[in-house]
Chains A and B, each alone.
Chain A
Amino acid sequence: MAKITLDGLRHSYVPDPQSEADYALKRMDLEWKDGGAYALLGPSGCGKSTLLNIISGLLNPSEGRVLFDERDVTREPPDRRNIAQVFQFPVIYDTMTVYDNLAFPLRNRGVPASRVDARVTEIAEMLELGDRLRTRASGLGPDDKQKISMGRGLVRDDVNVIMFDEPLTVIDPAQKWKLRSKLKELHQKIEVTMIYVTHDQTEALTFADQVVVMQDGEVVQIGTPVDLFECPRHTFVGHFIGSPGMNILPCDVHGQRVEFQGITVPTAGFPEVPDGATAEIGVRPEFVSITEDGGIPAVVRKAADIGRHIVVEAMAGDVPVSAVIDGDAPEAGSEVRLRFDPAHTRVYADGWLVTREGAI
């Protein structure tokens, strides 16, 4: 186990990068503490897989260093870094039993048989594979196969970090849910550093203590799931995290007064919009409610009861606003008034958060 430091890391697939745009991974400095659960979250092509491959040693970065504790491993191959990786599609050794699959990484490292047996039995028990140790791995379903892939990382007690590259892609929703909680449980039991790469915000937010949101090769925000949800530093984070994403609404700022559709909207703290920048209000649908009086007039376009709450899409003038509410669904076409929770209404200039928080 180890602390992971990324020091001035940068990568380009072009041999002689000229401009910033040539870098698939823009300069980044990060420190991940030992035993944490981290997620790299972003749309496809945001550079998260590049970063993962650099940490695992499958790719050499153009610039910068990767440190495990204080040891520089930048140029070391994967097998010397003591890492484990779970891939998008389950990788298992077809001809082996579940037991032999789990024992494989230990036997390759010359671990004595008694120790192998103890570890394999213990991990198989945690993964609920204990009763199938003697069956051939090739006959199992995708979720069990993916458990084996995880298990091969978990049996080793020398791993610095276990990495997951979109591990639930081929798993059915119901199984996905189980496997996700299993992973969370395992992390609580075996406190090994885990890095989870995904484009699915639900997976990232439920798994990680800390999420790194990436876009176009750049880290946009690092924070706990609650931080990212409640206080996105960039509209991209607001939009990408949460379902539906944050409402991003055009507004006018007069000094410290913020107007949307000609109506003054109270915000958290005071906006400081630079001259010439485009100002927008960001407010999550969860913090938009329907009120009797005051608020912003809007017409309901659609309301979907998704069980635990109702997702309302309304038009305030020509601007769509989503709201997540409890109780009864309003009729489509009905006129409502929307209220934004001031503590969670913020102003963004050219995408970046500009409200200075005084109150919270």
Chain B
Amino acid sequence: MRTQNQRAWFFVLPVLVLVAFNALVPLMTVVNYSVQETFGDNRFFWHGLGWFEDVLRSERFHAALGRQVLFTFTILIIEVPLGVAIALTMPRKGFWVPVCLVLMSLPLLIPWNVVGAMWNIFTLPDIGLLGYFLNNVLGIDYNMTQSPVAAWVTVIVMDVWHWTSLVVLLAYAGLISIPEAYYQAAKIDAASNWAIFRYIQLPKMKRVLTIAILLRFMDSFNIYTEPFVLTGGGPGNSTTFLSIDLVKVALGQFDLGPAAAMSLIYFAFTLLVSWLFYTIMTKDEQ
């Protein structure tokens, strides 16, 4: 037997160390908190799976999770078709290509908290451009600090504005990789525009759309900064998503045990859904 070259491990080591420090160690700390009870003084007592039971039974958690799922579902339903639709209308060659690409990328370059602050000011009923316009020109009673519906609509519109571009860019990349011969063949086969979309463009975009949906799912499911800056989770708890609730529990009430259990459940849920989705989408690629 020849000895295998073991040197490769040496090159992987830095990454392993990095992952350990920024993911595994903090995660273990969280696991540690989630199974113990503390009364301060750095004294801990074994609490088993108690916190997990509490969290899973808590109405507050159910409500936050429900809001989270509704939010993510809504923005996916809007952003993916909208993104694909915009990508389809973008030019495939010529002068306008770079212009469109730059315009599309702009929202993606703005930091989360700035987006939140922008929309907060934008929608103020007295001085915000949109808020003023809705209230005083169109006569719609719009105030997201008081109406949960208004708050929801604002959060969703903001997310759509901020993130649809990502879907557009990915879908566009999928579209331009389709060889011209496919369109020519479809023309010759007398395929309608819908058939071209359904049987050529959509299948060829499948991979990039899978990535787009995954990214948008994970990002929107973990969303924190934008709604926090925009609504602070209100009015009431109407826009308190899981992440916002988690921070309230952990830092507002300093209930470290329940907060730790909650983050682990949250994490496991995100992981599970992503895995399921990815497995189903790539199942028949073998």
Interface of A with B (CB < 8 Å)? 56, 58, 77-79, 83-85, 87-89, 91, 93-96, 104-105, 108-109, 136, 149, 152
Contact = CB atoms under 8 A, between A and B. Distances in A.
Interface string B162-204: 0000000000000000010110110111111001000110011
Contacts of B189: 104-105, 108, 152
> Which of B181, B192, B204, B284 has the most C-beta atoms of chain A within 10 angstroms of its own C-beta?
B181
A85 B203 contact: no
Interface of B is mostly: helix
A78 B180 CA distance: 14
A89 B203 CA distance: 18
B191 A96 contact: no
A78 B190 CA distance: 9
A89 B181 contact: yes
> Which of B181, B188, B200 has the most C-beta atoms of chain A within 10 angstroms of its own C-beta?
B188
Nearest to A83: B188
17 contacts: A56-B188, A58-B184, A78-B184, A79-B187, A83-B188, A85-B184, A91-B179, A93-B200, A94-B203, A94-B204, A95-B199, A108-B189, A108-B192, A109-B190, A136-B284, A149-B185, A152-B189
Interface of B: 179, 181-182, 184-185, 187-192, 195, 199-200, 203-204, 284
Nearest to B204: A94
B187 A108 contact: no
- Nearest 6 pairs of A and B residues by beta carbon: A105-B189, A91-B185, A87-B181, A108-B190, A93-B199, A95-B203
Contacts, number: 50
A85 B187 CA distance: 10
A108 B195 contact: yes
B191 A78 contact: no
Contacts of A84: 188
A294 to B, nearest CB: 56
Nearest to B199: A93
A56 B189 CA distance: 12
A221 B189 CA distance: 33
Contacts of B188: 56, 78-79, 83-85, 105
A89 B200 CA distance: 15
A109 B188 CA distance: 11
B182 A91 contact: yes
A89 B179 contact: yes
Nearest to B284: A136
Given A95-B199, A108-B195, A87 B184 contact: yes
Contacts of B190: 79, 105, 108-109
Contacts of A95: 199, 203
B151 to A, nearest CB: 41
B184 A108 contact: no
Contacts of B191: 104, 108
Contact of B181 (A91, A105, A108): A91
Contacts of B184: 56, 58, 78, 85, 87
Contact of B187 (A77, A89, A94, A149): A77
Contacts of A108: 189-192, 195
Nearest to B181: A87
Contacts of A94: 203-204
Given A85-B188, A104-B191, A109-B190, A96 B199 contact: yes
A77 B186 CA distance: 12
A136 B199 CA distance: 13
Nearest to A159: B188
Nearest to B192: A108
Contacts of A89: 179, 181
A26 to B, nearest CB: 25
A83 B189 CA distance: 9
A96 B195 CA distance: 12
Contacts of B187: 77-79
A264 to B, nearest CB: 55
> Which of B179, B185, B284 has the most C-beta atoms of chain A within 10 angstroms of its own C-beta?
B185
